Structure 1
């Protein structure tokens, strides 16, 4: 008689994950998912289980797996509080369209409805975040069908799927599925095709474009596999190209027609393109900053998106093109003549040149102790072409957008639409697991680090020795202020900074890194910036650079929008009395730079 353990439903789950090509499961242990974790142990590391320090961090890691690896990220948690902690990461996946499958434990089926410890109504809890697919597994026979549908839904909808696994179902013997009534046998397969817009829609779009003189393009995440086609379209039309935050990594910002990221945190050149164009092409973007689009009625619009539900979602469009970006642009190019040199093209190129000068001058404004824009600019110059970048939410995103122009070979990700602080270090862990031989660069503020980053830095300390390339440079902008919210208070409310809510407690990030066995560095002198950054990229272990920066460096929106906000910002700073004088001086200096070069 064999002594080998009986194959359980959990073993079946692990085998199906492996068939779907899953290499890693991120998560945190609990009694609810113990059977699944036992099956992962028995599988001998295929897939590998990577333990985060918090379920929220694990969920962000699964999102990072999806974003950097362009594959399904998988996360597991126990029931109750473990399940609740997943929500932030799963909403990040939902809003940024990243495929994630969450395997969430639940109490025994026989206990449900009794108000048992950690018993929550998980189907209601996850109903919104995983609306395309959420399934409670009531019997072992539902697997692997439920897993197959969960993966296909995540891939087809680019959103999270949730599979709820009662403890006793995980423990049950693996079913022997056949053709009995009620048994559904499926296959772990998914594929897609190339969607091309209809010919009559392309003809209509070409007519609108032909009638326009000032063409602007707003490119989103949907252009990630259409980078060459996008630039070819811009060249053909002499069009100015702006990007959503999600689109920024996929557009070559060294090109003379690329005006940079749009929106509140964007560039003055992008604002000019969007406000002055008479024809707008929206390609693979659903950017919510509608006040930065052209004034409705001033620009005729065309939108190309693979999802028909997105057409006209943010701006009134005249022609909708349903299709993938690359074949859609190629089909459109066949209908568009070469425009050559035009006054609009020269105007766009001049505005971009002006923006580059503004960006440089802003970084050189003296601050105390360091200007974070100068720091981000210095970091950008040192990011290797084969690196990966993670950016946390807060003022760091402004500095990334305005001072970091990276080659498209560098995948860069941030929690964009949800804009959740604490995402960067978990993202970076997943990025290194996806591509352990590539250098990793992380830009984060002290608020985001104290929220979640320092916890998952423990995970970095546990994992880094297994990476083929140990280079992992984390730059922390340490200003002891939730700077983005402080500036939003001044800008939107004409209110002074509220110290009790905005002050970030002192934390020694460099010393903490050393305590974890990493390399800690501290920078407070602009004269040492180049030396410290150069050294950081030579260290053969993860590096944490704690940079003391000035919280009073303004997060001024791009002009002309920024000009409209100046008075309220000045009122907020004036209300701060002596404490606001330095910020007021910097704000006026920044405004002067903008005005003198327009």
Structure 2
């Protein structure tokens, strides 16, 4: 019996292990939707309210499962809406396949409706990018798209003229298109460093007196190896945001995250170290790394292009982090001098005491740190936490400790807003028995808030914690601290998110008193189905850097003097916070 080209596409995806596609129907993909309808027992179609959410969900599916994420959009604007989520996948190295529709093949380029040549639009975002040229073409490029996305950990894109989707596939149309000549064999594992490179790397690490390990997303799953190496070298483990789950935050070796959202001990050890091992990270903010020439460098990465990208590296080890660390461990000598690590551990005790003080502050208006701290206490050991971008990521990075079996993620290098809810939804679909939380700001959530209705439709028990301060907080503070200007254009018109939740058929709760925070979160976690927890917090609480420079302090003071409209409240908040910390 003959099959359509769209059915061949769906069957091929199923052969590659795809069991879920995120997308939105449209007349440019009618043939593909029909193929999905006939094969809904094999592949589940998750209908979203906006294609950007579909791409974010495909990226999160890849991040949380390690499998290929797939999203689907119609021609023209549908495909264009995918781009933000696809760039999130590209910049964070996640395997995602995007499938888009196109107009009738013989009308492309004639200014017909939705005449956007999406293969040209997607040239930068995709490692594999092809237009279907005929019914017999689809099997070949579908296999290659899946293989390329997984092999190169990037975005693949297939765009499919609508009339070709319904075309019957009977036999190849050219003599060179031999049936089934494609393969599902691909290089799933990266290469392995040579013994010579491992010896050189071990020599550098053994020669260091103050060694620091910087762990990123590539080090996820290598917690045991990282801690063994840290113990042997007496080395603190600093974590990039995407590496938050690489070792638990109760590990005696970690100083937590680095950067503007990081910890003071992390910054101090990088300022003092003489040797740096970068494990699976291309942390972009080089101003927080050691000064060139200060430290000898060793880097482990699956992608050879990333070796030496951020810091001058003496030895590059191209390979998968866990396996490379295992090979390196027997070559590394036990260091007797533990003073560098012990000094760091004392600093972390002070830091965690400060985080607890901020997280248990009972003053009003309620501080955002209180909500984050209480969330960290109530999360299950197997919880999956998806943070949005903005000031919300500061509270997540510092106040929500990562436990050993938890998964944590955020839009990393793209740092896009609006990813939090789609990430949590994808996580809940992949792991229906785990606690999945979206920790978001009111600015980011409102961009794709209609996806809460998707949660209700698919009965996803995602808990959405919205830190509501009615402002684009990160931008506001950057305008003041980095530019020395008063805030401008950052205020948000308030939305009653608890009422919105009820309108969507979900549960809505509100917290505005720190004394009720624990009970309200507990009620939310005990409530079946999706829940929004709207936390009304102090809009003048600043996400201060871990170490404030004189230049930052001067620009902050200058912004207040130039006419910051809320300068009295901001000054009072900052001063009172500092007094509490001193006390």
TM-score by length of 2: 0.96
Listed as ranges, the matches of 1:41-190 within 5 Å are 41-130=37-126, 132-177=127-172, 180-183=175-178, 185-190=181-186
Q: SS of the residue aligned with 1:143?
A: helix
Tell me the equivalent position of 2:506.
518
Q: Is the 8 A contact 1:574 1:581 kept in 2?
A: no
Q: Show the counterpart of 1:575.
A: 562
1:588 is displaced (CA, Å) by: 3.6
Query: For 1:35, which of 23, 28, 31 is the aligned residue?
Result: 31
Superposed displacement of residue 337, structure 1: 1.5
Give the distance between the partners of 1:249 and 1:574, measured in 2 at CA.
41
Shift in Å at residue 401 of structure 1? 0.5
Compare 408-417 and 157-166 and name the one that shifted more. 408-417
Contact 1:24 1:48 (8 Å CA) reproduced: yes
Does residue 322 of the first structure (1) align with residue 310 of the second (2)? no
- Aligned pair in 2 of structure 1 residues 48, 564: CA closer, same or farther (>3 Å)? same
Q: Distance in 1 between matches of 2:245 and 2:573?
A: 30
TM value normalised by structure 1: 0.94
Which residue of structure 2 lines up, in the alignment, with residue 531 of structure 1? 519
Distance in 1 (alpha carbons) for counterparts of 2:536 and 2:566:
18
Tell me whether 1:456 sits opposite 2:444 in the alignment: no
Report how far residue 366 of structure 1 moved.
5.8
Q: Distance in 1 between matches of 2:404 and 2:550?
A: 32
1:108-167 CA distances to partner (integer Å, 9 max, x unpaired)? Answer: 11101211110112122100011x210111111112110111011110111110001111
| Secondary structure of 2:574's aligned partner | helix
Distance in 1 between the 2:336 and 2:249 partners?
21
1:24 to 14, 20, 43: 20
Match of 1:484 in 2: 474
Q: CA deviation at 1:252?
A: 1.6
Contact map agreement 2:439 2:464 (CA 8 A) in 1: yes
TM-superposed deviation, 1:363: 2.9
Quote the offset at 1:190 in angstroms. 3.5
Contact 1:447 1:481 in 2 (8 A): yes
Give the alignment partner of residue 233 of structure 2, picking from 230, 237, 249.
Answer: 237
Aligned 8 A contact 2:28 2:162 in 1: yes
Where does 1:163-312 land on structure 2 (aligned, <5 Å)? Answer: 163-177=158-172, 180-183=175-178, 185-193=181-189, 195-312=191-308
1:474 aligns with 2:464: yes
**CA separation in 2, counterparts of 1:593 and 1:181?**
76
Q: Structure 1 residue 240: deviation in Å?
A: 0.8
Contact persistence 1:522–1:547 (CA under 8 A): yes
CA distance 1:592–1:204, shift in 2 (3 Å) = farther
Per the alignment, do residues 566 and 587 of structure 1 end up closer, same or farther by CA in structure 2, a change over 3 Å counting? farther
Matched, 1:504 2:499: no
Any runs of at least 4 consecutive aligned residues in structure 1 with deviations exceeding 6 A, and if so which? none
The question of whether the paired residues in 2 share the 8 Å contact of 1:141 and 1:183 is answered with no
Separation (CA, whole Å) in 2 of partners of 1:157 and 1:264: 30
How far did residue 517 of structure 1 move?
1.7
For the Cα contact (< 8 Å) 2:214–2:240, is it kept in 1? yes
Tell me the SS of whatever aligns to 2:67: coil
Q: Which has the larger displacement, 53-62 or 185-194?
A: 185-194
Change (3 A) 1:586 1:514: same
Alpha-carbon shift at residue 422 of structure 1 (Å): 0.7
Contact 2:189 2:320 in 1 (8 A): no
Q: In structure 2, do the counterparts of structure 1 residues 189 and 577 end up closer, same or farther at CA, with 3 Å as the change threshold?
A: closer
- The question of whether the paired residues in 2 share the 8 Å contact of 1:68 and 1:431 is answered with yes
Contact 1:107 1:166 in 2 (8 A): yes
Q: CA 1:445 to 1:174, structure 2 compared with 1: closer, same or farther past 3 Å?
A: same
Q: 1:367 to 1:145 in 2, by over 3 A?
A: farther
What is the 5 A alignment of 1:361-400? Answer: 361-365=357-361, 368-400=364-396
Given candidates 560, 571, 576, the residue that maps to 1:584 is 571
2:213·2:238 contact (CA, 8 Å) conserved in 1? yes
Aligned equivalents of 1:451, 1:577: Cα separation in 2: 27
Which sits farther off after the overlay, 360-369 or 249-258?
Answer: 360-369
Contact 2:456-2:529 within 8 A present in 1 as well: no
CA change 1:562–1:248 in 2 (3 A) is farther
The 8 Å contact of residues 142 and 183 in structure 1, kept in 2 or not, is answered as: no
Distance 2:46 2:57 in 1: 9
Q: Which secondary structure does the structure 2 equivalent of 1:537 belong to?
A: helix
Where in structure 1 are there 5+ consecutive unaligned residues? none
Kindly state the Cα deviation for residue 593 of structure 1 after the two structures are TM-superposed.
Answer: 7.1
Aligned CA distance change for structure 1 residues 474 and 23 (closer, same or farther; 3 Å): same
Deviations 1:417-461 (CA, angstroms, capped at 9, x unpaired): 111111111111111111111111111011111111x11111011
Matches of 2:245 and 2:207 in 1, distance apart?
A: 31
Deviations 1:535-555 (Å, cap 9, x if unpaired)?
111111211111100111111
CA distance in 2, matches of 1:194, 1:393: 31
SS of 2:40's partner is coil
Alignment correspondent of 1:424: 420
Aligned-partner SS, 1:109: coil
Counterpart contact for 1:9–1:175, Cα < 8 Å: no
For the residues of structure 2 that align with 1:84 and 1:410, how far apart are their CA atoms?
A: 34
Report if the CA contact (8 A) 2:256-2:262 is conserved: yes
Do the aligned partners of residues 41 and 581 (structure 1) sit closer, same or farther apart at CA in structure 2, a change above 3 Å counting? same
Distance 1:564-1:363 versus aligned 2 partners, 3 A rule: farther
